[in-house]
Amino acid sequence: MDLGNFASLHFFCPELLLTTATLLIVLVDLVIIDGAYLGAVALITSAGALLLIGVEPASEGAWLFHRMIVYDSFAVFFRVLIALAAVVAVWMSMGSAEVRRCAQGEYYAIVLASTLGMFLMAESANLLMAYLSLEIVSLTSYVLTGILRNNRRSQEAALKYLIYGGVASGTMIYGMSWLYGIAGSLDFVAINHALFAASGVPPLTVFIALVLILAGLGYKVASVPFHMWAPDVYEGAPIPITTFLAIGSKAAGFALLTRFFYPGISRLDVGGGWTALSGVEWPQLLLVVCIITMTLGNLAALQQDNLKRLLAYSSIAQAGYALMGFVLLSNDGLRAMLVYLFAYYVMDAGAFLVVMIVANATGREDMGAYRGLAWRGGAVPAIALAIFLLSLTGIPATIGFIGKFYVFAAAIRERFYVLALIGILNSVVSLYYYMSPVRAMFLGQPEEGAQPIAIGAWNYSLMGLLAFATIALGLYPPPVIAFAARSLHFFAGTS
Amino acid sequence: MEHPVTTDLVRWIVLLPLLGAAINFLFGATLQKRFGKRVISFLGCGAVLAAFAIALYTLFAMLALAPDRRFMLDDLWRWFDVGGLKLDIAFWLDPLSIVMVLIITGVGGLIHIYSTDYMHDDASYWRFFGWLNLFTFAMLVLVLGDNLWLMFVGWEGVGLCSFALIGFWYTDLVNTNAGNKAFIVNRIGDLAFVVAIYALFAGLGAVGHPTLVIREVARYAPALAGARGYLGLPMVTFVTLMLFLGATGKSAQIPLHVWLPDAMAGPTPVSALIHAATMVTAGVYMVARLNFLYSMAPATMLVVATVGALTAFLAATVGVTQTDIKRVLAYSTISQLGYMFVGVGVGAYAAGVFHLMTHAFFKACLFLGAGSVIHALGGEQDMRKMGALRHKMPLTFVTFFAATLAICGVPPFAGFMSKDEIIWRAYAHGHFVIWALLWAGAGVTAFYMFRQVYMTFFGDFRGTPEQDHHVHEAPSAMAFVLVALAILSTVGGFAMLPGFIAPFAPFERFLDPVFNSDATRQVFASGLHDRSLETLFAGLSLLAVAAGWLLADLTYRQGVLSAARMSEFAGGVFYRLSFGKYRIDEFYRAAFLAPYLKLANAAAWFDGHIIDGVVNFAASMTVVGAWLAGLFDSYIVDGLVNFTSKATLAAGGRLRRLQTGSINGYLYGILAAVMVILLVRAIARV
Amino acid sequence: MAHPLTLITFIPLIGMILILAAPAGLVRWYKWIAVASAAAQLVIAAWLYTNFNTGTVAMQFTERYSWIGAYHIYYFMGVDGISISMVLLTALICFIAVFSSFSIDRAEKGYYALLMLLDTGMMGVFVALDFFLFYIFWEVMLLPMYFLIGIWGGPRREYAAIKFFLYTLLGSVLILLAMLALYYYGAVPTFDMTQLAAHSSSYTIGFQRIVWIALFIGFAIKIPAFPFHTWLPDAHVEAPTAISVILAGVLLKMGTYGILRVNFAILPAATHELAWLLLGLIGTINIVYGAMCAMAQKDFKKLVAYSSISHMGYVMLGLASFTAAGINGAVLQMFNHGTITAMLFLLVGVIYDRTHHREIDGFGGLAQSMPIYAGITGFAFFAALGLPGLSAFISEVLVLIGAWQLHPIMTTLGAATAILTAGYLLWCFQRIYLGPLNEKYAALPDLSAREIFMLLPLAAIVIMLGVYPHAILVLLNTSLVHLNQGVLAVATGPALPLH
Amino acid sequence: MVNGLTLNDFLILGLAVFLLGVYCVLTRRNAIGILMGIELILNAANINYIAFSFFGGGGANYDGQVFAIFVIMLAAAEAVIGLAIILAIYQNLRTIDVGAAETLSG
């Protein structure tokens, strides 16, 4: 049903909570000097948002705010994922040495604002709302990247991010303007009807518009060829923010990408497959993008010495694996993508967390810091990082394997043999660089004068939780699968 | 063959030596340390002699049975039952195997007793008796095995024991090399043996009776008559030929005889027991046991006879020039085995087995006599440093001389009855060339045997003074054994008198039930049975022996002819050939061993470098993306070996350089990407 | 006993958790927890052996619970003739490997924990009947091996460890693809191997060929078959003794077990068509090539590694013979090779622990300083070269007598290699144990009680199976004959085109 | 209708401004220059929106113009943040040349 503004608020509680919390933190920060507990407020807020999503009234779908926002199970899935990402990011920030040095109030307020933007990205039903939410997330991310006052790396990363983001989103809006011109409306459902109308549309123009829009969405998801910014920004930004970008904004990017490309400009057939616009070869384009993303991500990561940069390329490659589900044009593929994104969230957050722990203790992010880590008191983080990296490789009994298994199963079901083979070979190659830190930690001898690693209980608990989740969900994945299966419902209700 | 008497006594003949070996191996060292060597010798000899007693008892039990029902079966347990191959661990006793058992346990027992004195001052005394007992066990399994695989277990078991006993004094590498050589050459023979069994099993399976139990094979053998075999030969011929090739390995016939002379590196009782009396005769026993198969393959019979004759003659010629007392006897053994193979090769199986028995007696006596001489001279084995020992060692001399007369075939000694029977049978079955070889061989045998006697016991002592001082007669145990064997060598011959003297041949009659397959009877009947011709040929062979004896007497006892001048005869080529053992050892090493070692090293290098390099290449498929870039610099720098892992890493490195860090570069990335996409689409559309 | 298979698989895992939970530094605790769990496994294995019904072809002691409903994945465990011998072998070898680990002196806690995880992985592979569960255990077993070789190995351990991991991972991803293909293109979408085997006729021959080859490569890397074997010598040389024992004793059998359980059962038509070329020919190459390389080795452990390659070649030849004798011989050879090679590696370990080097020419005349050790090694060497009366002889004979009908040339080559094997083994025995005593090692202590305790059971089994192989063969026969008939039933062309 | 201008004229103008913006972004080494380029791109999009909204078929279709307003607002926000970051870099490096900020690479 099509709700007015006030009626929609009923379904909008988590977002409202986030807004009020952001404002509250800004006000409190003005009044009080010492903002130590502001982090706790942010943590409670994001956790509260997660709870509220759970508590929301079950409904098979609704338009909110006069068709600007759509509330359906697909949106719920991503809001849960993003809320989890926010919880992890804030939890890490409270334990991070870097964040402790910058202004707490501004930091946490902007993080919550960014979370809000991601929520909106996941549920936007209108080109305008898509652009607006994307810009909110981008702008907040530029600031968060550059939040470390006099740190050259962070400043430079923020500048690059800003310029790249600006150009990419500008290109996107230009593309959207053409699409608006063709379809005559900003609303996804209207665009869909216009594109599939009997009179037909100029395919070349639509293709150009899609390519330009893809620049914006591709940049957000950091898929090749719009990934150039990612390695530098991931390395420059403080680790909690890098994590937030890697798991939060990337998930939101996938949500928007899926909502735009699937319910937006293609049609669901009866058998669970999707058909794209005739003459507009965006599926083939994205297939090529997916293959290059995987291969380039893995190849470039082979010789990285800085762990953050290695994880940056690894997250590009992981985006490639998730795209594998996306390009299959079938519900099975999308379900596999959702499972993969959830798996990616757990293992990537864990990996960045351990990198942060080591960075906190040694202040270094290169492989040297990890040499012989297991033998000088760092056995637990070493084992945890090993679990996360093996999960990223796709070794069984971890959630990473379940994710990869589903994506390959879907690819083979849809007869994309070459794609499955390339994916498989990529995961074998990825073993080499995922194993290099593990080899350094376990097989290498600690450098002389390397002191043992001290881990605060705060980070220890999160690490334990994520490691347990990686193994437990790897051994018993049905809950994740059921959750993904349930949430593949795009509301395009007529009323 | 049909309804054997089931018994559970035969198993003890086999198990007692095994028990002896087990106790010696496991507890021998401690027993010897605490209670001295008496316990070991009591245990070792006791086990074999007890087996001998049981064997005697079963012999009488068998004689009590009707002649055509003298078969006993002792079935222990199911060995394995897989895909039509149902075999039990079972021991089959029939006249042939009881004869062999009696030889093994009888002569073996005597040699055990002899060893108690001979090895008396050797530290690992217990290990020697352990291996001797294990050898007796393995030989008994070979002889009593109910199926071909159990026979093969014994077959290789004796190979193992001969390896261990040849290399008994393992501290000196020459002995261990001899041991290795023996085992590996035997194994080459065993390869043919095993291939024959596979072919036989396949052949029998094809005609519907897949079995390897010997008596069942005998029952279904006629069905194989027409079957096609391999290498273009009929099945029966192929199987028997391969089995014979296996026998040449074990019984040291040409071409696989090279290991026996080197086997003399072992202690003398070992040479006597294994390389004279029992193991080397295994080949003859096998051919006799499978007579029903061999008789169906005349071609193989001819091959067996010819190889036997050739070996007999050539080995004898080599024996003539040897100077080591044991090597002479070794070549003599090879030669006598040649005779036995001729016997079974022409179809006179009984004669072959009879010669096997008599040979066991006199050859064991000769070896033990030589042992006593070596023992007396403190390990000296070179005949040129001996002489005039008959005064100091009369008993050894007398027994040695009696055995020499036996081996040369001088009546009434055993050799005359057995060897001449074979020589006659050779002619009787129409093989004139083979007869000639055997006849000449008999002469040469006489020459080298008497040469040995004269060089050792006659003339003047050529050894060192303290050797001369140290010489003493054989101690009591050795003396008793020598006498016993000498008596057997003289009396043994009467068990089977040649036809022209008297129709008295109980030995042959005793073995008839074994050789009663109609093919065997038909082959045996085809020979001549002319009494007068037989007496003529007996005279002829006696003539050859006399000639040989006279020649040896003239050169070595009376010194009328000088051995040296004889060796230059015809430029010394014959001498060099004979002394150098026809260069067969060197030929094998050059033709087979050296190239194989080179090939093995090449394989290892190939495996380490090429396979590793190529497989790494296939394993790390990441080359696809960066083929050109990676190929160029890494190939030049590292070459093929680590080419692939370098190419992968280079690919990563190259992609990193794209990330220049300049923002303008990145923005170009967007523009370039959009342009490329549109370009590709335009091209694809057209 | 309820749920025997789940127990036998997961007791080591419980052991691992106990070890990790145990306070640091209590090495004695780790050792006895490991021994206890291995002993428990052995007891259950013995129980399985006694209660195993040799008459039926059906799966026994089965347990089946739904695991991931969405993809018809079940937690399905069971044992039949093919896998029972492997379960017994794994339990035995792990029990002995735990004892041989007592000489490890670095980070024992991590070592024993990984050892237990490896044990669970291996046992799981042999009892799993759901392809997905099989694959999970297959990869879980891979991980501890990497760390065990990588951390406690020899000088070039890192290279050997990563090489082992990459080779086997490549193999296993091919198996993953094949598994998915079987799942989607079969008559009924399932991962249950018994179901897949039942519906094996629903796959077209073209499809069967591709999947068969992919599976074969995946399993061949593990055997190791000829072109993919170069990881084995490196892994063996660098691995600590206990891990070498497990690697040679159990891990190599997973390849051939996989081929039997998957290739033969689920793709019989392709098996009949391709087996003679890929299994038979490559098996023969394995036999001859392994023996030749062994001849030229300077390192004692590498020599034993290459001898393993040669012996596993017999297993492949046996599988390719399509006769009851051949297949039974192959599975018996897997068992025998497990026990004999375990003995050989333990013996290499004895020398390595004492002298810290393994060059064959560096020793000499050790029989004089260590008579018992030389005696047992002599016994092991003769068992390895297939001396009749010992276990390897029975399996080699069965393999060759089975393979004769179809491939007389290959069988002759296989039998001829017995000579080469005798050659390199006796030559190696002579250079190390016989000849004059190398004075450097005059004072070496002979075998300790612990070492003897490890070697004796293996020696006893080698003798027992030589004299009474029926004990194991009776377990295998019914299932293997049924499997073989399954393959022959769908045979179209002649098994050996060039015959 | 408006003194002879048609939809295509506006689209061409929009495309021209867009290409100028892209050119400006690619060639400028000065950070602020790049920001201006971004502004040009955004305004090109605005031109398109307003043109499509005005010439669009059917009744009064103001979505385009609403979009334009939002674009202007967000462009302003972006400019603010951009200048703030450039100011911070200027304090560190004493230059706003984009080439100087290339430590992060590889």
Q: What is the mean pLDDT of each run of 10 residues along chain B (686 residues)?
A: 77 91 88 85 90 92 84 87 85 90 91 89 88 93 92 92 89 87 89 91 86 87 81 87 91 86 88 85 90 88 90 87 87 91 88 90 91 86 84 88 89 84 85 88 90 86 79 84 90 80 80 82 78 84 89 81 71 73 79 82 78 54 39 38 55 66 73 79 71
Domain count for chain C, please give it.
Answer: 1
D103 vs chain B: nearest CA distance in angstroms? 7
* Cross-chain Cβ contact A232/B651 below 8 Å: no
Q: How many helices (H) and strands (E) does chain B have?
A: 31, 3
Domain ranges of chain B: 311-560, 612-686
A312 vs C230, higher pLDDT: A312
B in contact with D (at least 3 C-beta pairs within 8 A) = yes
| C-alpha distance from residue C223 to each of A20, A479, C177, C236, C312 (Å) | 64, 37, 19, 14, 7
Angstrom distance (rounded) from CA B377 to CA B451? 19
Mode of pairing for the β-strands spanning A274-276 and A266-268:
antiparallel
Chains touching D, CB cut-off 8 Å, 3+ pairs: A, B
Give B178→chain A minimum CA distance, Å. 48
How many angstroms separate the CA atoms of B343 and B524, rounded? 11
* Smallest Cα distance from C436 to chain B, Å: 5
Q: Using CB atoms and an 8 Å cut-off, which of residues 601-640 of chain B contact chain C?
A: 601, 603-605, 607, 611-612, 614-615, 619-620
From chain D, pick out residues whose CB is under 8 angstroms from the CB of B664.
Answer: 26, 29, 98
Q: What DSSP assignment string belongs to A86-151? A: HHHHHHHHHT-HHHHHS-HHHHHHHHHHHHHHHHHHHHB-BHHHHHHHHHHHHHHHHHHHT-STT-
Residue A217 has pLDDT above 80, yes or no: yes
Chain D nearest CA to B596, separation (Å): 54
B388-445 confidence digits (pLDDT tens): 888 888 888 999 999 999 898 888 888 888 888 888 888 888 888 888 889 999 998 9
- Check residue B661 and give its pLDDT: 66
Q: Which residues of D touch B661 (CB under 8 A)?
A: 102-106
Neighbours of chain A (3+ CB pairs under 8 A): B, C, D
Is the pLDDT at A151 greater than 50, yes or no?
A: yes
d(CA B136, CA B158): 8
pLDDT at residue B634, rounded to an integer:
37
Mutate to test the interface with B, among C363, C381, C419, C499 (most CBs of B within 10 A): C419
Q: Which residues of B touch D101 (CB under 8 A)?
A: 663
Contact C318, C398 (CB under 8 A): yes
Nearest-neighbour CA in chain C from A263: distance (Å): 25
Contact assignment for A156 to D101 by CB distance below 8 Å:
yes
Give the per-residue pLDDT at B657: 64
Q: What's the mean per-residue pLDDT of chain C? A: 89
Task: Quote the CA–CA distance of D84 and A162 in Å, as a whole number.
Answer: 11
> Would residue C499 count as lying in a domain?
no
D7-98 CATH fold: Helix Hairpins (1.10.287)
CA geometry: angle at A108 spanning A107 and A114, to 5°?
95
Chain B segment 506-545 residues within 8 A of C by beta carbon are none
Q: What is the pLDDT of residues A321-362, one digit of tens each?
A: 999 999 988 888 999 999 999 999 999 999 999 999 988 888
**Which chains border B (3 or more CB–CB pairs < 8 Å)?**
A, C, D
Do A296 and B684 make contact, defined as CB atoms within 8 angstroms? no
Q: Cβ–Cβ of B198/C401 closer than 8 Å? A: yes
Minimal Cβ distance to B649: which of A164, A168, A302: A302
pLDDT score for C499: 36
Residue type, B223: A
> B679 — contact with chain A (CB < 8 Å)?
no
Which residues are CB-neighbours of B110 under 8 A, at least 6 positions away? B364, B481, B484, B485
Q: Which residue has the tokens 């094949």?
A: C178
**Range in B316-320, C77-81, C82-86 with the lowest mean pLDDT:** B316-320
How many angstroms separate the Cα of A392 from the Cα of each of A318, A340, C170, C245?
8, 11, 16, 31
B-chain residue closest to A165, CA distance: B667
B611 contacts C227? CB cut-off 8 A? yes
C352, C367 contact by CB (below 8 A) = no
**Can you read off the two tokens belonging to residue B376?**
């007396």
Q: pLDDT by residue (tens digit) across D50-104?
A: 888 888 765 567 888 889 999 999 999 999 999 998 888 888 777 777 766 667 7
> What is the SS3 string spanning B387-432?
CCCCCCCHHHHHHHHHHHHHHHCCCCCHHHHHHHHHHHHHHHCCCH
* Selected residue with higher pLDDT from B226 and A458: A458
- The pair of structure tokens assigned to B379 is 């390990």
CB-based contact (8 Å) between C473 and chain B? yes
Using pLDDT thresholds of 50, 70 and 90, give the confidence band for residue C13.
very high
Least-confidence region, from B133-137, B534-538, C209-213, C307-311: B534-538
Chains C and D touch, contact meaning at least 3 pairs of CB atoms under 8 angstroms apart: no
Residues 16-75 of D with CB under 8 A from A: 18, 21-22, 25, 31, 34-35, 37-38, 41-42, 44-45, 48-49, 51-52, 56-58, 61, 63-64, 66-67, 70-71, 74
In chain C, the residue whose alpha carbon lies closest to the alpha carbon of A430 is C166
Optimal mutation site among D40, D66, D67, interface A, most CBs of chain A within 10 A: D67
What gap in Å lies between CA A18 and CA A8, rounded to an integer?
16
**Among the partner residues A211, A299, A429, nearest to B678 by beta-carbon distance:** A211
Residue in C389, C434, C469 nearest the CB of B153: C389
Q: Using CB atoms, list chains with 3+ pairs below 8 Å to chain C.
A: A, B
Amino acid making up residue B132: L
Pick C434's closest partner by Cβ from B167, B197, B612: B167
- C-alpha B317/C-alpha C281 separation (Å) is 47
Tell me, yes or no, if D24 comes closer than 8 A to chain B by beta carbon: no
Q: Is pLDDT at D42 greater than 70 in this prediction?
A: yes
Residues ≥6 apart with Cβ < 8 Å to B479? B395, B396, B473
Counted residue by residue, chain A has a size of 495
* D105 with B671: Cβ contact below 8 A: no
Q: Which residues pair with B80 in a beta bridge?
A: B87
Sorted by where each begins, the domain ranges of chain A are 291-495
Six-digit token pair at C308? 């393993």
Distance CA(B557)–CA(B386), nearest Å, equals: 13
Judge contact between B167 and B176, C-beta under 8 A.
yes
What are the domain boundaries of chain D? 7-98
The residues of A whose Cβ lies within 8 A of any Cβ of B are 159-160, 163-164, 167-168, 171, 207-208, 211-212, 215, 225-226, 228-229, 231-232, 281, 285, 295-296, 298-304, 425, 428-429, 432
Question: B361 near B515, Cβ under 8 Å?
Answer: no
Write the residue in C136, C158, C184 that is nearest to A439 by C-beta.
C158
Please tell me which of the candidates D29, D99, D105 has its beta carbon nearest to residue B659.
D105
A158 to chain D, any CB pair closer than 8 A? The answer is yes
* A 436-455 near C (Cβ less than 8 A): 439, 442-443
Selection from B368, B346, B359 nearest residue B424 by Cα: B346
Structure token digits, residue A16: 């409202």
Q: What is the structure's pLDDT at A349?
A: 94
Identify which of B659, B660, B668 has the shortest CB distance to residue D26: B668
| CA geometry: angle B417, B420, B425, nearest 5 deg | 115
- Calpha distance A304→A161 (Å, rounded): 21
Number of H helices, E strands in chain A: 22, 4
